[in-house]
A and B are shown apart, each in its own frame.
With several copies, the nearest count.
Chain A
């Protein structure tokens, strides 16, 4: 019996040629995306471990704890970020940004936290990027963390600094906490002007709200130590003027 429909189930060869090119392109690209996602997950999980290591500091073990954290951090860089760099070699970094952005943000969070604890300063984007340079093949354009991921990581940093500040107050390191407070306030203030200019500012808006909460938590903790400390002198009348509530003469 006849059939009405066309029998041409195989497309014309020129069309087929074009489409096998498209198909190959899509296959390779999707595979690469998968590898990038996996590298990003590894960067995230190992950066989180570095952050936890930092939270293990107390008054008397700073050096050893931070030394280990820095070591772990460079392992993250050398092992996992290196993998990412390798994958992205030669592609437009922006095309796969959504696939690796979470890992990079967490790495920024860990790296800036370490730096603040060791040096008391903000690790600049240029400094981080300089550290990444050796990972790239000199012949192709090196992977550089973009402003957006750096800022998003920084926004999360303030949450970790809040935890650090509460811990430091418990350990009697009030000045350390106040230093964190000033630092976080400064970051917050700077970001108020930068946040609305981000590519996707709605995410950042939420992060700004959370950041303000963190700032206020530190401020409230400092307030509380302050008013409580005020009772010391009138009641005890000690002549030991350095006897503040949770004095930390050994900080720095």
Chain B
């Protein structure tokens, strides 16, 4: 009977955590679908729509995401100290959010969004329900993958100053990543991909440069990216 009682309790607790997981998955699915909409809006940037217009449309989803992450946090807090038990169920979605926020932030400011800024935008509180550092870093790698495409399409549309700015940004970002000792194979693989993004942007910059299309032939020490 003691045995039976213990296992009854186990079943109960596992059912509880199972239903918790179901609720987490349901929210994660909504996050996923919201990021798809956001991504869809941002894609118009490749068709040379004006940045403010594109951003405005994408930003309408931020509140939705904030709301969803607040739900997620509440669910996860029901089971204190078990953040990482369920982490696998929403981390892909969180990485995608980082990637989109990072891209929008860069479009607006020319800077890298930092870890705490993402937490802030999502209304997260690191001490209770924060954003995992590796997820942040992976999301930034995903953002980097979008940049070559952006540069190519901007040049096609006649914006010849874009390669220089992106190149500066990506060079800095790449150098920053090199400070990390990566172990995690997935993150390392993503970081390897960033090298190719950097190369591609350099090539475009070169194409523009040799044709005398770049507005300012001297990329050295230029800090004017933020000025845009």
Listed in ascending order, the chain A residues whose CB lies under 8 Å from chain B are 4-12, 14-16, 18-20, 22-23, 25-27, 30, 45, 48-49, 52, 55-56, 58, 92-95, 97, 121-122, 124-126, 141, 147, 151, 163, 166-167, 169-170, 182, 185-194, 196-199, 216, 219-224, 226-228, 230-232, 234-236, 245-246
Inter-subunit contact A223/B156 (CB<8 Å): yes
Given that A5-B219, A166-B199, A230-B211 are known contacts, is A219 also in contact with B176, CB under 8 Å in the complex? no
Distance, CA A92 to CA B220, complexed state (A): 46
Distance, CA A16 to CA B177, complexed state (A): 9
Distance, CA A12 to CA B83, complexed state (A): 33
Contact of A48 among B15, B114, B183 (CB under 8 A): B183
Inter-subunit contact A192/B84 (CB<8 Å): no
Distance, CA A185 to CA B156, complexed state (A): 15
Inter-subunit contact A4/B2 (CB<8 Å): no
Inter-subunit contact A189/B43 (CB<8 Å): yes
Q: Looking across the interface, which residue of chain B has its beta carbon closest to that of A57?
A: B178
Contact of A228 among B168, B172, B207 (CB under 8 A): B207
Given that A7-B220, A93-B81 are known contacts, is A122 also in contact with B2, CB under 8 Å in the complex? yes
User: How distant is B61 from chain A, measured CB to nearest CB, in Å?
Assistant: 13
Q: 12 new A-B pairs (CB below 8 Å) besides A23-B179, A223-B153? A: A10-B175, A15-B173, A23-B181, A26-B181, A170-B198, A170-B199, A191-B7, A193-B37, A194-B11, A198-B14, A223-B152, A228-B206
Inter-subunit contact A166/B196 (CB<8 Å): yes
Contacts of B180 in A (CB 8 A): 19, 22-23, 26, 52
By secondary structure, the B interface counts as helix
Q: Interface code B163-196, partner A: CB below 8 Å = 1, 0 otherwise?
A: 0000110011111111111110000000010011
Q: Within 8 Å of chain A (Cβ to Cβ): is B216?
A: no
Q: Looking across the interface, which residue of chain B has its beta carbon closest to that of A159?
A: B192
Interface centre among B173, B206, B207, B210 (most CB of A within 10 A): B210
Listed in ascending order, the chain B residues whose CB lies under 8 Å from chain A are 2-4, 6-7, 10-11, 13-15, 17-18, 21, 32-33, 36-37, 39-40, 43-44, 46-47, 81-85, 87, 111-112, 114-115, 133-134, 136-137, 149, 152-153, 155-156, 167-168, 171-183, 192, 195-196, 198-199, 202-213, 219-221
Inter-subunit contact A9/B207 (CB<8 Å): no
Given that A19-B179, A52-B181, A219-B152 are known contacts, is A169 also in contact with B114, CB under 8 Å in the complex? no
Given that A22-B180, A94-B84, A245-B206 are known contacts, is A6 also in contact with B219, CB under 8 Å in the complex? yes
Distance, CA A95 to CA B112, complexed state (A): 27
Given that A30-B183, A192-B39 are known contacts, is A4 also in contact with B205, CB under 8 Å in the complex? yes
Inter-subunit contact A190/B212 (CB<8 Å): no
Inter-subunit contact A222/B156 (CB<8 Å): yes
Inter-subunit contact A226/B155 (CB<8 Å): yes
User: How distant is A236 from chain B, measured CB to nearest CB, in Å?
Assistant: 6
Inter-subunit contact A94/B167 (CB<8 Å): no
Contacts of B178 in A (CB 8 A): 52, 55-56
Distance, CA A170 to CA B212, complexed state (A): 21
Inter-subunit contact A6/B167 (CB<8 Å): yes
Given that A15-B172, A185-B47 are known contacts, is A197 also in contact with B18, CB under 8 Å in the complex? yes
Interface centre among B32, B40, B211 (most CB of A within 10 A): B211
Contact of A52 among B84, B171, B182 (CB under 8 A): B182
